């Protein structure tokens, strides 16, 4: 019976091959692992940032365009810490990390057969109801109230009687029109309702000095989105607060849209808004360092 043995040259060859495989195989596995981590992080950030900008864009789509402001959360003086987006220059933009607006009650405007509020209003000629009464034909205030109560967060007492109306032809000014400074309101008007009419709660029952238009938009909440100084890596959305009642975004309910956010910024051209969300990942230990990604959306 013949026996075979490795020669010295064969053993050396095997050792050399194993050394090559050990060197380049480990490098290949490391590159493959880094590639997997990179792909995983990219997919996660793409999905989360896309979801964040889409949620913001969906809310902004139904904004009252004249009401949009940028706010500096590091300044606690509510009469001076906000500007219209078109007034914020590139140098000071990072400070104004909160974007705020009053949203129309679009959920109750999109009825299955007709809107729950019509958007058309007039002064009631009946003296029995009083001179400060406005009538909105075809508006179902009971149904609108039920919708608001279904949308408000648990524990909130918000009803249609916390809502307000905005006349679409009025010259709303963000500095004095919507209560952003917790003081002045002249573009949006608090209301009180019953099943047949809307009572406009104003000091002057004769509407003196007020532009009254037959077309209006109903609003029950303001919205704020951005990065607050208290949690500088979280992109948050605030809602269920009424600036026309002296409240600010910190009085509202907040939800976190995304974590590990490095930048939230926006700019405006007229009433067109462009928003950008930049995020980074601290998962993994890639040789290239942390991975970051930005998503943008333009809202008309």
- Compute the mean pLDDT over every residue in the chain, rounded to the nearest whole number: 82
Q: What is the pLDDT of residue 202?
A: 42
Helix (H), strand (E) at residue 218: strand 216-219
Over residues 18-39, mean pLDDT = 69
Taking only the tens place, the pLDDT of each residue in 230-266 is 888 899 999 999 999 999 999 999 999 998 898 899 9
Question: Is-contact 283 38, C-beta < 8 A?
Answer: no
Confidence label for 286 from pLDDT (cuts 50, 70 and 90) = very low
Quick check: 21 pLDDT over 80? no
Taking only the tens place, the pLDDT of each residue in 41-81 is 777 778 888 889 999 999 999 999 999 999 999 999 998 99
Q: What is the pLDDT of residue 201?
A: 45
Q: What is the pLDDT of residue 140?
A: 85
Q: What is the pLDDT of residue 287?
A: 45
Quick check: 33 pLDDT over 70? no
Quick check: 296 pLDDT over 80? yes
Q: What is the pLDDT of residue 110?
A: 76
Least confident of 88-97, 134-143, 175-184, 230-239: 134-143
Largest pairwise CA distance in the chain: 124
**CA separation for the pair 225, 100 (Å, rounded):** 7
Quick check: 83 pLDDT over 90? yes
Query: In the structure encoding, which two tokens stand for residue 249, read together?
Result: 């975004």
How distant, in Å, are the alpha carbons of 70, 274, 298 from that of 90? 13, 14, 18
Q: What is the pLDDT of residue 82?
A: 95
Q: What is the pLDDT of residue 203?
A: 40
Q: Specify the pTM.
A: 0.82
Residue by residue, DSSP assigns 162-191 as G-EEEETTS---TTTSSSTTSS--SSEEEE
Q: What is the pLDDT of residue 143?
A: 87
Q: What is the pLDDT of residue 77?
A: 92
**CA separation for the pair 211, 167 (Å, rounded):** 8
Quick check: 31 pLDDT over 90? no
Taking only the tens place, the pLDDT of each residue in 158-211 is 999 899 989 887 777 788 889 999 888 888 888 877 655 565 544 444 555 667
């Amino acid at each position: 019976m013949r026996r075979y043995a490795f020669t010295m040259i064969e053993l050396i060859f095997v050792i050399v091959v194993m050394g090559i495989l050990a060197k380049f195989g480990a490098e290949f596995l490391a590159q493959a692992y880094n590639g997997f981590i990179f792909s995983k992080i990219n997919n996660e950030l793409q999905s989360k940032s896309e979801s964040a900008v889409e949620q913001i864009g969906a809310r902004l789509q139904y904004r009252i365009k004249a009401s949009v402001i940028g706010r500096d959360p590091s300044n606690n003086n509510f009469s001076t810490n906000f500007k219209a987006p078109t007034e914020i220059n590139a140098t000071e933009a990072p400070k104004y990390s909160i974007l705020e607006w009053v949203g129309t009650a679009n959920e109750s405007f999109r009825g299955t057969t007709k809107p729950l509020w019509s958007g058309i209003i007039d002064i009631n000629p009946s003296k029995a109801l009083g001179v400060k009464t406005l009538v909105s034909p075809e508006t179902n205030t009971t149904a609108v109230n039920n919708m608001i109560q279904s949308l408000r967060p648990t524990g909130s007492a918000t009803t249609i009687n916390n809502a307000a109306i905005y006349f679409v032809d009025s010259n709303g000014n963000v500095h004095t029109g919507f209560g952003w400074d917790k003081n002045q309101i002249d573009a949006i008007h608090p209301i009180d309702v019953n099943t047949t009419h809307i009572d406009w709660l104003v000091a002057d029952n004769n509407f003196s000095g007020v532009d009254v238009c037959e077309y209006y938009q109903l609003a029950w909440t303001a919205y704020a989105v951005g990065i607050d100084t208290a949690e500088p890596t979280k992109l948050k959305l605030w809602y269920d607060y009424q600036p026309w009642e002296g409240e600010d975004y910190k009085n509202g309910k907040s939800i976190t849209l995304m974590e590990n956010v490095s930048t939230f910024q926006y700019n405006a051209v007229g009433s067109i808004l462009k928003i950008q969300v930049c995020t980074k990942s601290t998962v993994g230990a890639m040789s290239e360092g942390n991975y970051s990604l930005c998503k943008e959306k333009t809202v008309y």
